[in-house]
Amino acid sequence: MTRDPKQITERIIGLVAVCFLLLAPVLVSNYWVDVILTQMLIVGIAAASLIFLAAYGGMISLAQTALAGTAGFILGNLATVGGEGGESKGLSLGWDPTLSLVIAIVGTVLIGLFFGAIAARSTGIYFLMITLTFSVIGFYFVGQVTVISGFSGIGGINRYTPGFVGDMVNDRFRLYYIAFGVAVLVYAAIRFIVRTPFGLSLQGVRDEPVRMSSLGYAVPLHRTLAFGLAAFFAALSGVLLVWWQGQIAPGDVGLPATIDLLIVAVIGGLARIEGAWIGALAFILIGNYIRDSWLTQLLDDLHIGGSFNTIIGLIFLLIVIVSPDGLVGLWDRLWGRLRSGGDSDAPGAPVSPVGAVPREV
Amino acid sequence: MSERIAQLDVRRRAPTVIVGLLVGFALLYIIVLATPSTDIGGNWRTTTFGSAIDDWQSFTRTLLNGLTFAALLFIVASGFSLIFGLMRVVNMAYGSLYLIGGYVAYEVQQKMTGSGFTIPGIEVSTWEWVLPAMVAAGVVGLIGLFVQQVFLSWNQGQELRQALITIAISVIIADQIIAHFNKGLASTVTWPGWSNRLVELPLLGVDYSLARLVMLFLGVAVGFALWVWLYRTRTGLVIRAGVDDLQMTSALGVNIKRTLALAFVVGSALAAFGGVVGASQGAVAPGQDGQWLLNSLVVVIIGGMGSLLGAAVGSLLYGLTFSFSAVYLPTIGDNCCTQYSIVFTFILLALVLAFRPQGLFGKFT
């Protein structure tokens, strides 16, 4: 299979992408590194946690944004020192940043396991609804409880980083490389996990829950553990996010943010992990360069009205209708067509959790 | 052997007993334990109003607030449940339909009364409320029909894809509402003038807003109408058959596509009608689409998808939990604990999911 031209092409593209990302601070402008690429890596990690659950667990979770936010809120409450943050609320406990970091990640994983245990007995569309409900309740919780946040959120978190991480405020390239490292680790971890016995039985649970259950596998436990693992990845992304933007507010875990992450994952493609970063890049580029382009002008000219969000919605709609597997799915289908001369359903094409007609459980 | 079974039995019953005790304690707390707040500090028994025995009137008002909110929840969520039960479509644009309903009614009412920004309640006749509500329900019903025919009819069965499509639509609608309706400002539909007063309830001796009682009446009326429609007409028969087995119903020679479209129109119109009632009681504002999507989700997750009774019971449980937890949590210090009321919504949801993942009146598919 190593001779497969598609695989070779993908390896080459991957290698070029990694080299480009490594050299990016030299190659492109600071704005590109700090805003577009760093954000792409961070959002991509969160999207990867969503795609991991979708592609290998058959669970589309809308709680990943909330989980990333949980890590951010815990870190913000523990690590910051009161008074200095000015307007910012929160407990401002001023704990040791390293300890706060560990607690933020472990706490998020525990909360993820708890949520996962509640939601694990449902699948498909029910799972999506339940995780969405968790996420929205989380949003109202941090908004209502002024002790830990309130609607203004917590600021100045990036000034309290652990020593081994270093200065995030002035040295933006450092943050970029850390995000890059974490992204590579998350990608490698997911690729590794899905090959372990746990990953294989998780995929069995995805395809044939009833059969796996009668073979003696604990189906809800597999789903719960996968959810906890995804919560860990989401927590990493959440920590990086608060370091990147310096603050966290309920808006970061609200419904629009939740939907944005889903859009990222769907644009990239829910069938393969690579889609996470491809989708993130596409989404951020659209956000940065279409906002004031001829497209928004077109809305005005046609007297439709509306802003950037209408365009994002239309693009999202188009992608879901035309290629439910996103950009990666488009790429796979292109190769399938090349190989079999027009037959798009080539064997070996990854199964999309979106396009596939779900099996009755 | 019998000991072992008894042990198992205890272990299996333990969660039920614990939940029973907790619910019992919550009731006991509300009825007897809570004490009215004092000026100095307080303890875990201190609440704003005190117990039901101490302050019967506040208790009744809280109860009525819960019931009337449940009525609004039911109007909105019953449509969501209808659409889901029949088509397995999780209509994520449902909150957007609610918003459009409220805004359309606002615009129509403004045109009809010719008034400016706010209309004095006394100047609104019953007709000037009913017609905007009907227009809103009609317009949103048509939007629903359009969405269903163009985006959802050709991919029946691909649940997640349909959910994603409706998410995309909700993003577009949310943005378009800001562009086209009242500059995206919070807008209020005015209740008819006659309802804008307090009435003294017989027997209870409590003054209560007539408008909120109208809301309760509307909820019950919608419930009754839906029940008649679903259980006493031929169309309802087909819909209930479709909820149980869509393919079999179709195989029996029923034009199922027309039924699906009709159910989607009715469901969307219910969202809009709920939006009008919600806009009359409070206001509609951008961002509430998420809130009402959440409300609908919570109700149908608790009650069970596609069940009318489930929607009613889910609305009641959620409405009462929402209303009581906002008032009857301890208020130690300045603003303790009542801000945690959202947690109770989550607890309610988690309990139902832990014991009955399919919802109280739901069936496994």
As a whole number, mean pLDDT of residues A11-38 equals: 88
Q: Residue B227's domain spans which residues? A: 34-355
CB–CB contact A307 B345 (8 Å): no
Q: Evaluate whether residue B153 is within a structural domain.
A: yes
pLDDT score of B71 more than 90:
yes
As a whole number, mean pLDDT of residues A124-144 equals: 86
Highest mean pLDDT among A68-72, A249-253, B331-335: A68-72
**C-alpha dihedral (A93, A95, A101, A102), degrees to nearest 10:** -110
- Write out the two tokens for B64: 């009525």
- Write out the two tokens for B193: 């003038």
Number of CB pairs, chain A paired with chain B, less than 8 A apart: 137
- Helix axis angle for A219-245 and A197-207, nearest 10°, is 110
Please report the pLDDT score of residue B97 as a whole number.
Answer: 95
As a whole number, mean pLDDT of residues B40-44 equals: 63
pLDDT score of A133 more than 50:
yes
DSSP H stretches of helix in B50-193: 56-87, 94-113, 127-147, 159-180
- Decide if A8 contacts A145 (C-beta within 8 A): no
**Nearest residue on chain A to B340, alpha-carbon basis:** A145
CB–CB contact B172 A307 (8 Å): no
Q: Evaluate whether residue B28 is within a structural domain.
A: no
Name which of B74, B82, B102 is nearest B267 in CA terms. Answer: B82
Tell me the CATH architecture of domain A5-254.
Orthogonal Bundle (1.10)
Please report the pLDDT score of residue A351 as a whole number.
Answer: 52
Name which of B180, B182, B213 is nearest B199 in CA terms. Answer: B213
Mutate to test the interface with B, among A316, A323, A352, A360 (most CBs of B within 10 A): A316
| Smallest Cα distance from A225 to chain B, Å | 17
In 3-state terms, what secondary structure has residue A4? Answer: coil
Q: Evaluate whether residue B3 is within a structural domain.
A: no
pLDDT score of A108 more than 90:
yes
Residue pLDDT, tens place only, B105-122: 999 988 888 766 566 666
Over its C-alpha atoms, chain A yields an Rg (Å, rounded) of: 21
Of A130, A146, A255, the CB nearest to B339: A146
Please report the pLDDT score of residue A173 as a whole number.
Answer: 85
Of B168, B293, B350, the CB nearest to A316: B168
Give Cβ neighbours of residue B225 (< 8 Å, ≥ 6 apart): none
Give the B window 265-284 contacts with A, CB below 8 Å: none
pLDDT score of A331 more than 60:
yes
CA separation for the pair B259, B253 (Å, rounded): 12
pLDDT score of B179 more than 60:
yes
Provide the pLDDT confidence category of residue B70 given band limits of 50, 70 and 90: very high
Give Cβ neighbours of residue B29 (< 8 Å, ≥ 6 apart): B45, B51, B328
Of B171, B294, B354, the CB nearest to A118: B354
Query: What H or E segment, with its residue span, contains residue B207?
Result: strand B206-209
- Write out the two tokens for A11: 């390896």
As a whole number, mean pLDDT of residues B38-48 equals: 65
Q: Evaluate whether residue B5 is within a structural domain.
A: no
Query: What H or E segment, with its residue span, contains residue B209?
Result: strand B206-209
CA separation for the pair B56, B300 (Å, rounded): 32
Provide the pLDDT confidence category of residue B347 given band limits of 50, 70 and 90: confident
| Smallest Cα distance from A92 to chain B, Å | 18
Please report the pLDDT score of residue A357 as a whole number.
Answer: 44
Of A121, A305, A309, the CB nearest to B171: A309
CA separation for the pair B59, B53 (Å, rounded): 8
Q: Evaluate whether residue B76 is within a structural domain.
A: yes
CB–CB contact B157 A357 (8 Å): yes
Q: Which residues of A touch B346 (CB under 8 A)?
A: 134, 137, 141
Neighbours of A275 (CB within 10 A): 30
CATH number at residue B240: 1.10.3470
Structurally, how many domains does chain B consist of? 1
